[in-house]
Structure 1
Amino acid sequence: MPDATAFTLAEIVGRLGAATLCGLALGLEREWRGKDAGLRTHALVALSSAVITTSALSLYAVVRREGGDADPLRVIQGLAQAIGFISAGTIFVARRNVKNLTTAASLWFAASSGIVAGAAQFTLLAVAMGFGLAILIVLTLLHRFGLAREEDRDGA
């Protein structure tokens, strides 16, 4: 059975590569902070999102080309639910303080970066990564200098 894809190898490598690089960038920031979800976790979450999105879009194109009807948004919606479950597993409460909320949010962002990379929306991806890394890095620096409030007590 032939490969049911609407994308060239170069397009697939570009989409998955972009997602992986974004996940690595986010994971590196988490590693620097000594958090449990680091390079591998973020890279795999972003890559997985891109794989699922690319597959959904490709299958949609193949089905449409053959006269069928499909909805890749259902796959993306399922992915959003799944990453919410994984992210929630990183959050815990100790002595009435919430821990690892930023790590959970960065995992969520890694997943959305993967979805965007899988959809080949590279301009959106670049802008989002700029904002995402700025949030993680700049706001942490502001907190350390006493110019911002620590929100979730996970050390940013």
Structure 2
Amino acid sequence: MVELELIARLVLAGILGAVVGFEREKRFKEAGLRTHFLVAVGSALAMIVSKYAFYDVVNNSIKLDPSRIAASVISGVGFLGAGTILVQRQSIRGLTTAAGLWSTAGIGLAIGSGMYIVSICGTILVLLGLEALNRLFQPVFAKYQQISIHSRSDTIIPTILDIFSSLQLVVVSYQVKLKANENQTFYIIDFQLKANKAGKDNETIKSLQALQEIDKIKIH
């Protein structure tokens, strides 16, 4: 019965981790369903090992601290989360995903220690933080995004700026890079924008696609 309960803890940790990962996966983040699943299961397994794996060596002269492995897991996941953070010029991406991984590790540790209700409540709060808070405060905070445009000419920049202005998109900064290969020379124009209204992506793409000089559009 003890072994079955420990296996059930691993399964529940994987399910809760996958739930958080699914939210990240549908937003096309670097760490998605599988990563969160593995972090949760691994954290739960580490906690189980920390609590129950050393009973055969514990006696009056040897005492163990079950919290040591849990502390090491938190530190280790911190390095994993750092790998999801990308610094691109004036913008930083991946902080929310890194925080989600760290929270998922905490959920796994709580499951491994047998705190089922706390773990489920923690998962719900993490999902509320990722989904509900974003939707609740989206009208309040301006949305920042980065758009990369591949063009055959840099003379199109004023036209692009006019399109952004008509869509109420404020250009924070932009950078132009010249790329050349064997066949042609083209420009990569990276715009960092502040949107006054949400839901402009489709309109932006349609307006930019009407320009013949543009070969590729990518919204980060």
Q: Which residue of 2 aligns with 1:44?
A: 38
1:122: which partner in 2?
Answer: 116
CA deviations on 1:4-49 (whole Å, 9 max, x unpaired) are xxx7122112210111011100110001111110010000000000
Partner Cα separation in structure 1 for residue 126 and residue 56 of structure 2: 34
TM-score normalized with structure 2 length: 0.61
Aligned partner of 2:51 in structure 1 is 57
The runs of at least 4 consecutive aligned structure 1 residues that moved more than 6 Å come to none
Provide structure 2 residue ranges, at least 5 long, that are not aligned to the other structure.
147-220
Name the count of aligned residue pairs.
145
Q: The residue matched to 2:92 in structure 1 has which SS? A: strand
Q: Distance in 1 between matches of 2:41 and 2:2?
A: 18
Q: CA deviation at 1:153?
A: 6.6
Which residue of 106, 111, 125 maps to 2:105?
Answer: 111
Cα RMSD (Å): 2.1
Select which of 78, 82, 99 maps to 2:72. 78
Shift of 1:61: 4.2
Deviation at 1:53, TM superposition (A): 0.2
What's the CA shift string for 1:40-79, capped at 9, x where partnerless? 0000000000000001100254444x44311111111111
Q: Which residue of 2 aligns with 1:23?
A: 17
Contact 1:42 1:110 in 2 (8 A): yes
* Paired-residue identity, %: 33
Alpha-carbon offset, residue 148 of structure 1: 4.5
Question: Relative to structure 1, is the Cα distance of residues 51 and 153 closer, same or farther in structure 2, using a 3 angstrom cutoff?
Answer: farther
Q: Please state whether the residue corresponding to 2:117 is helix, strand or coil.
A: helix
1:92-141 residue CA offsets vs partner (Å, 9 max, x unmatched): 21121111100000000111111001001011111111111110110222
Instruction: Find the counterpart in structure 1 of residue 150 from structure 2.
Output: none
Pick closer, same or farther for the CA change 1:59–1:100 going to 2, 3 Å: same
The yes-or-no answer on 1:139 pairing with 2:133 is: yes
What letter corresponds to residue 22 of structure 2 in structure 1? Answer: L
Q: Which has the higher contact order (CA 8 A, sep 6+)?
A: 1
1:149/1:113 CA distance change after superposition, 3 Å: farther
Q: Which amino acid aligns with 1:27?
A: G
Which residue is 2:83 aligned to?
Answer: 89
The aligned amino acid for 1:116 is A
Match of 2:171 in 1: none
Separation in 2 of the partners of 1:62 and 1:91? 42
Structure 1 pair 85–140 and aligned structure 2 pair: CA distance change class (3 A)? same
